[in-house]
Amino acid sequence: MVRFKNRWFLVEFITVSSELSQQPPLDNKQIYSALRQSIISNFGDTGWGAVGMSLTVKYFSPTTNICIIRVARDQHKLAWGAITLLTTVNGVRIIPHVVHVSGTIKHTQLAAIKHNREVISRFRARAKNPSMRLHQL
């Protein structure tokens, strides 16, 4: 029996537009369809044929804009390129930031926890007094 080897991407979607309150929150299906369009437009049907069967969006948090994406190990560079070239998801302008790439979901989850702790500590450092800290989180 052959084991399927995967790569797991931890991606942070940084929103560009200031109209966040007017935009509906993103979800897994919208991110998947945006990735699909990015692969097809940048790498053609051949690229989508190589990546399409293994590409899945396993997790997305609308509060932190952190996403975990799984793809087959052999095609992870093609998927990474498509993630990097992604500019909009469902009409929302974004900048994708690949935070971590791993061979297991466990290490990707640990990297997500570490990344979220760093972001929270940056927010707390920016707060000028303790009462503002609760409002920014």
Q: 76 in a domain, yes or no?
A: yes
- Tell me the pTM: 0.83
pLDDT (0 to 100) of residue 123: 82
Q: 11 in a domain, yes or no?
A: yes
The enclosing domain of 43 has a CATH number of: 3.30.70.3250
Domain extent for 70: 6-16+24-105
The Cα 66–Cα 104 span in angstroms is: 17
Question: Could you tell me where the beta strands, DSSP code E, fall in the chain?
Answer: 6-15, 56-61, 66-72, 88-89, 92-102
Q: 118 in a domain, yes or no?
A: no
- Taking the alpha carbons of 23, 28, 34, 35 in that order, is the dihedral positive or negative? positive
| CA distances to 1, 33, 66, 129, 134 from 13, in Å | 37, 15, 7, 29, 23
pLDDT (0 to 100) of residue 117: 93
What's the structural domain count of the chain? 1
Q: 131 in a domain, yes or no?
A: no
Q: Residue type for 36, please?
A: R
Residue among 85, 57, 89, 60 nearest 70 (CA): 57
For the chain, 137 residues long, give each residue's pLDDT as a single digit of tens. Answer: 778 899 999 999 998 876 555 677 889 999 999 999 999 999 999 999 999 999 999 999 988 899 999 999 999 999 999 999 999 998 889 999 999 999 999 999 999 999 999 988 888 888 865 555 555 55
Q: 70 in a domain, yes or no?
A: yes
pLDDT (0 to 100) of residue 89: 92
Q: 111 in a domain, yes or no?
A: no
Q: 136 in a domain, yes or no?
A: no
Q: 135 in a domain, yes or no?
A: no
